[in-house]
Amino acid sequence: MEESRVFSEQANPARSGAGIISRIRLENFMCHSSLQIDLGDWVNFITGQNGSGKSAILTALCVAFGCRAKGTQRANTLKDFIKTGCSYAAIFVEIKNGGEDAFMPETYGNMITVERRITDSSSSISLRDHQGKKVAQRSKELDELIDYFNIDVENPCVIMSQDKSREFLHSGNDKDKFKFFFKATLLQQVSELLDGIKSHLNAADAILAELELSVRPIIEEVKELREKIKNMEHVEEIAQEVQNLKKKLAWSWVYDVDRQIADQNVKFEKLKDRVPTCQARIDRLANRLNELKTLLDDKKAQIKSLMEKTSDVRRMKDGLQNNLLLAKKERAELEAEYSRGDSLISEMRKRVRLLEQQLHDTQEQHMKVTQAEEAEFEKQMQKLQDEINIVQRNVSRLQEEEKALTERLLIARETIKELVKEVHDNEKKCHGLCSQSQALKQQQTNKVTAFGGHKVLSLLHAIERHQRKFKCPPIGPIGAHVSLANDDTWALAVENAIGRLLDAFIVSDHKDSLVLRACAREANYHNLQIIIYDFSRPRLNIPSQLLPTTCHSTTISVLHTENPTIWNVLVDMGSAERQVLVPNYEIGKDVAFEQRIQNMKEVYTSDGFRMFYRGSVQTTLPPNKRIRNGRLCSSVENQIHDLEKETKIVQELMEKGKERKRNADRASQDLEEEVRNVKRRRIGEERSLMSKLLTLKDMKSSRSTEAIPDTATNEVEVRQEIMQVQYDIQAKGLLLEKVRVRMITAEETANDLKRSFESLCDSAKGEIDTIEGAERELLLAEEELNVAEAEKAHYEGVMQNKVLHDIREAEAYLSELQRIHQENFRKASIICPEHEVMALGGCSGSTPEQLSAKLNRLNQRLLQESRRYTESIDDLRQMHDKKERKISKKQRTYAAFREKLNACQKALELRWSKFHRNANFLKRELTWKFNGHLLKKGISGKITVDYDKKLLSVEVKMPQDASGNNIRDTRGLSGGERSFSTLCFALALHDMTEAPFRAMDEFDVFMDAVSRKISLDALLEFAINQGSQWIFITPHDISMVKGGDRVRKQQMPAPLSS
């Protein structure tokens, strides 16, 4: 129950008819068998003798508005209010409901009747409209009514019962006054509420702290499991690398034999190409031999015939030729002897000139390089040049090696980029699968989240908060009100057909749509689809002639909903009755494009294809991959299982991709290191080459002339040697002259013989020329024949001993390689398919021997690591994931609790601050209003409120004390003065609270006539000016109260004497 609102404004509120009691009717309640009281809108006086049942009216009001029996201080249980001898009691309170402040006027009209029925075993509450029709019968609706009109019957400023009047008006205890003030201003209710909240928050904080501490041992366990899993994953990586190396090694032997076979095939083809060439050469030589043999035989026969004819001439010719040859020989010997003598004389003359020059240039001749030093210098130059050539070859080799390694490095980097892209794609796919799985798990917990996620829950809470603003509550999301009629066969087809409508909300008019849009903004739900539809329309009945004439199901036929508005929206907005569902693609094509079914709009297949026909255009759309399948399914466990399985596969692929990337990174780093090493070596060689070239250049530029030692030549000896040489020249000249004479004689003899030979030759020139030509041709033919035979024998030997032998050996070796290839391929295929090795990057760049050595090292390492761990990594991962999910869930929950708890504590502190500030405001306002009422009689006063000691004291200053400063406590006043001051105190409290009606019972019971007259005047003036409905109950005569339009008096009948 909400507190009464406290106002500090002096101005009276505008008059409204809402919340005013117009009639009270009692049946079998306390002393009344049947009683009906009609009340005015302003001031009502109810008088009567004691025992006439006046106070029962206020007790009935309290019970009707939900007060407990003990709260009335008239009974312990509600059944005690039933009149003796009756089986039930009934209270009817009619409340006006007009004006701008009316409560749900479209439902209740201008009058609300609160009915409370009490029996021995139960009690019931019902609210009726202005026609008496029952509208509500729960206490919740009554609480809403009470909260709306701010009716708090337990507040003494709203209903002051007889006991409260006596306790308040005549009590001089400051603590009682404080209790009355604290309760009347609702400060007590707020204080108790805040204290209760504080105790609850403290208890919640202690529980939350205990819960947060309980998570720490599990966190430590998870850390230990994570470390163990990390180590075991390293072992798994090694094991996986061992398996991959085994696969690579197996196929590496195959690829190695493949390379050998390819090389051998090339070699074999080259060898086979030599056979035709060699055989063609042999054939040409054989033909040439036959031709030469024929030619040789012909020449021999020709020469034999000519020799027989010219035998005598030949003998004469041979004799002359021999004599001529002897003469020429003698002449040649003489010429040689003459030439030697002439040369010797020339040498001797040169010697003379040399000696003369030596003699002339003895003093000017410089040191020259000896022949030995020259040879040594040339030897050094040649050695340095050889070193330069070697370094140049090394530089060229290193440049080619660096170029090849750079190309391999570029290829490795491209491979790494592809692997990074593959890992990124797998991570993205894994994230999408996890999101789908999480959404399905969320849907499994709360079906509504499948149609908008957490935003739709926030939207529903916002709608609930603003429910009064809607003319009719919105319906949505549509998917939460729809289910598949049979199984989940058509789940995907229905999603494709009407999936865009499943997240939508339905409202009855445009005004509600604006309110719903505001709620969506509050819930941060953007792009909400809102459909405006008339809720009052009954469920559509579609005639059969308007449905597709087919045996296949339609979308509307496989759906089930209890809400007719949902059904109508699916028909009117989604055309669900014209969407045909078929099992597969082929049937869909036949139904959509061949049968031309009437009233059919679209065809959807169970696997998501959409087909439709517009005019002459046939359209087929593939399944939409972004559509969430399974939102309408009754069970999503299988889908969650499939998604988790697929997620696991993608994660394995992702891990393998990461491993391959790490291997590629290591290989790339190795290549980079090799490139750097080769580059360093190349730079070193280039520097060495440059150094040697500079050294060679320096040697050539700094070559110094060789020095020869000075020779002291004796000038006399040189001159004597010159004279001796000249003498020898003269002697040799005489001998040479004799030789020349003999040479002339020999030459004349040779010329005579030559002339005789020529004359003989001229006489037999024709025959001799013919014979000589034939002989020359015979000699040439014999030479060609010998050459051809030797060449043929050579090529035949090459054919037999080289070409054919190499072909046979190559063919045998090729057959052996093919056998080895088949055996290796069979063994490798048993180990793994070839595409797995290609997926691992192939075997390029490593020989089988290198892979085998690497495999042995990894096996030893795997054996060492495996001995350290005996648990199953899958069990550890499952245990780790389970505990991590548990911890994460608890931490999120506790964090959310802590955040809410902190927010609540801050809010509580703020509320306490506002509470103390308002309490101080109320204290000052109470004194001000109290003085305002006292001043009307010339009295002044003061109210002191001590919230810490819970005391309230009232002090007044009477007119007769105006000359002095005497301020008296109310206990020192007369009875009338005390009653009036207490009444002013009560009116000040009334002025600070708001309620549609107020009631006071026997407020003047202890007053004398004068005090009663003063009090009644004050009450009547305040009631008329204040504006609320007032009910005063008194047993005394109120004839002094003047009647009027705003004052109504009623007399209760006297009680029947027993």
Report whether pLDDT(801) > 70: yes
Q: Are residues 27 and 100 in the same domain?
A: yes
Domain membership of residue 237 (yes or no) is no
Q: Cα 884 vs. chain centroid, distance in angstroms?
A: 21
111 and 181: one domain? yes
With residues binned 3-state (H G I as helix, E B as strand, rest as coil), the percentages for the chain, rounded to 5, are 65, 10, 25
Last residue of a domain, one of 578, 612, 635: 635
Q: Are 132 and 141 in contact (CB under 8 A)?
A: no
546 and 657 belong to one structural domain: no
Whether 54 contacts 1036, CB under 8 Å: no
- What pLDDT does 709 receive? 41
Task: List alpha helices for 467-509, DSSP H.
Answer: 491-502
Q: What is the mean pLDDT of residues 802-824?
A: 82
Tell me: do 117 and 171 sit in the same domain.
Answer: yes
Q: What is the mean pLDDT of residues 370-378?
A: 63
The model carries a pTM of: 0.38
Instruction: Return the top range by mean pLDDT from 210-214, 476-480, 613-617.
Output: 476-480
Q: What size, in residues, is the chain?
A: 1058
User: Which domain does 757 fall in, by range?
Assistant: 311-361+713-763
The pLDDT assigned to 518 comes to: 92
pLDDT at residue 184 tops 90: no
CA angle 482, 483, 485 (to 5 degrees): 130
**What percent of the chain is modeled with pLDDT above 70?**
83
Residues 192, 200: contact at Cβ < 8 Å? no
Whether residues 984 and 1002 share a domain: the answer is yes
pLDDT band at 708 (very low <50, low <70, confident <90, very high): very low
Query: Would you tell me how many other CB atoms lie within 10 Å of the CB of residue 1050?
Result: 16
Q: What is the pLDDT at residue 9?
A: 33
Contact 653, 427 (CB under 8 A): no
- Residue 146 and residue 161: Cα distance in Å, rounded? 19
CATH number for the domain harbouring residue 131: 3.40.50.300
Output the average pLDDT for the chain.
77
Residue 793 to residue 286: CA distance in whole angstroms: 10
What integer pLDDT is reported at residue 1011 of this predicted model? 64
Paired tokens of 66:
């939900």
Q: What is the dihedral of CA 593, 599, 605, 606, to 10 degrees?
A: -160
Integer Cα distance of 70 and 1048 in angstroms: 31
How remote is the C-alpha of 367 from its chain's centroid? 91
Mean pLDDT over 522-531 rounds to: 88
Residue 810 resides in a domain:
no
The 10 Å Cβ neighbour count of residue 613 is: 17
Q: In this predicted model, what pLDDT tens digit does every residue of 119-167 receive, in sequence order?
A: 888 888 888 888 888 888 888 888 888 888 778 777 777 777 666 666 6
Could you tell me the two tokens for 983? 């009444």
User: What distance, in Å, lies between the first and last C-alpha atoms of the chain?
Assistant: 42
Could you identify the residue written with the tokens 């094991």? Answer: 239
Average pLDDT for 164-171: 60
Closest CA to 493 of 605, 337, 339: 605
The pLDDT confidence band at residue 582, using thresholds 50, 70 and 90, is very high
Statement to judge: residues 960 and 1025 lie in one domain? yes
List 680's β-bridge partners, or say none: none
Neighbours of 789 (CB within 10 A): 16
With CA atoms as reference, report the closest residue to 880 among 223, 232, 236, 431.
Answer: 223
**What is the C-alpha separation between 403 and 415, in angstroms, rounded?**
19
> At 1047, which helix (H) or strand (E)?
strand 1047-1051
Do 487 and 349 sit in the same domain of this protein?
no
Higher pLDDT, 633 or 835: 835
Can you tell me whether residue 97 is helix, strand or coil?
coil
Q: Would residue 1035 count as lying in a domain?
A: yes
Paired tokens of 188: 């007590």
How far apart CA 666 and CA 656 sit, in angstroms, is 15
Q: Report yes or no on 802 lying in a domain.
A: no
Give the model confidence (pLDDT) of 384-417 as tens digits. Answer: 888 888 888 888 888 888 888 888 888 888 888 8
Distance, CA of 431 to CA of 420 (rounded, Å):
16
Q: Is the C-alpha dihedral spanning 215, 220, 221, 226 positive or negative?
A: positive
Long-range contacts of 266-274 (CB under 8 A, 24+ apart): 267/810, 268/807, 268/810, 268/811, 268/814, 271/803, 271/806, 271/807, 271/810, 272/807, 274/803
pLDDT above 80 for 681? yes
Higher pLDDT, 859 or 311: 859
By mean pLDDT, which of 230-244, 355-369, 417-431 is the weakest? 355-369
Helix (H) or strand (E) holding 22: strand 21-29
Range of 273-287, 344-358, 651-665, 948-962 with top mean pLDDT: 651-665
Same domain flag for 631 and 647: no
Closest CA to 159 of 1048, 953, 925, 993: 993
Positive or negative, the CA dihedral 649, 650, 654, 656 is positive
Mean pLDDT of 45-68: 83
Strand order across the beta sheet in which 617-621 lies: 553-554, 579-582, 602-605, 610-614, 617-621
Give the residue from 656, 673, 703 where a domain finishes.
703
CA atoms of 867 and 886, how far apart (whole Å): 31
CA dihedral 610, 611, 614, 617 (to 10 degrees): 120
Q: Which residue has the tokens 């009209």?
A: 109
What pLDDT is attached to residue 368?
47
Query: Which of these three, 635, 662, 686, is where a domain ends?
Result: 635
pLDDT band at 310 (very low <50, low <70, confident <90, very high): low
Burial pattern 211-230, b for ≥16 Cβ within 10 A else e, equals eeeeeeeeeeebeebeeebe
Query: Peptide bond before 477: cis, by omega within 30 degrees of 0?
Result: yes
Residue 989: name the closest of 932, 943, 930 by CA.
Answer: 930
215 found inside a domain: no
More confident residue, 277 or 168: 277
Q: Is residue 200 part of a domain?
A: no
CA–CA dist 785, 777 (Å, integer): 12
For range 507-512, the mean pLDDT: 90
pLDDT at position 1007: 64
Kindly state whether residues 605 and 683 are assigned to the same domain: no
Distance CA 911, CA 906 (A): 9
Confidence (pLDDT) at 760: 65
Q: What is the model's pLDDT at position 771?
A: 67
Tokens for 945, please give them.
Answer: 């409120």
Please, which pLDDT band fits residue 647 given cuts at 50, 70 and 90?
confident
The three-state (H, E, C) secondary structure of 233-245, written as one string: HHHHHHHHHHHHH
Mean pLDDT of 73-85: 83
- For residue 1029, the tally of other CB atoms under 10 A from its CB is 21
Contact status, residue 360 vs residue 715, Cβ threshold 8 Å: no
Are 459 and 432 within one domain?
no
Q: How far apart are CA 673 and CA 670, in angstroms?
A: 5
What separation in angstroms does the CA of 723 have from each of 353, 718, 838? Answer: 12, 9, 99
What is the average per-residue pLDDT within 483-488? 78
pLDDT at 79 exceeding the cut of 60: yes
At 311 the pLDDT is: 65
Q: Give 18-44 pLDDT, tens digit per residue.
A: 888 888 999 888 888 888 888 888 888
Number of domains observed in the structure of the chain: 4
Q: Identify whether residues 539 and 659 lie together within a single domain.
A: no
Is the pLDDT at 630 greater than 70, yes or no?
no
Q: Is the pLDDT of residue 170 over 70?
A: no
- 97 near 111, Cβ under 8 Å? yes
| Per-residue pLDDT band at 1003 (split at 50, 70, 90) | low
Angle at 929 between CA 926 and CA 934, to 5 degrees: 120
Given the structure tokens 């993608």, which residue do they identify?
A: 650
Token duo for residue 809 = 């050996």
- Residue 92 — pLDDT band, cuts 50, 70, 90? very high
Tell whether 910 is covered by a domain.
no
Using the structure block, give the residue that is written with the tokens 């087909």: 611
Instruction: Report, as an integer, the average pLDDT of 659-684.
Output: 85
Confidence of residue 506 (pLDDT cuts 50, 70, 90): very high
| pLDDT value at residue 966 | 45
pLDDT above 70 (res 976): no
pLDDT at 350: 78
Domain check: are 55 and 140 in the same one? yes
Say what the pLDDT of residue 507 is.
93
Beta-carbon count within 10 A of 85 CB: 7
Please report, to the nearest 10 degrees, the dihedral formed by the alpha carbons of residues 405, 411, 416, 421 taken in order.
170
Distance from the Cα of residue 154 to its chain's centroid = 60
Query: What's the mean pLDDT in 920-948?
Result: 75
> Would residue 296 count as lying in a domain?
no
**Would you state the structure tokens that stand for residue 414, as one six-digit string?**
């491209």
The token pair that represents 589 in the structure block: 């094509």
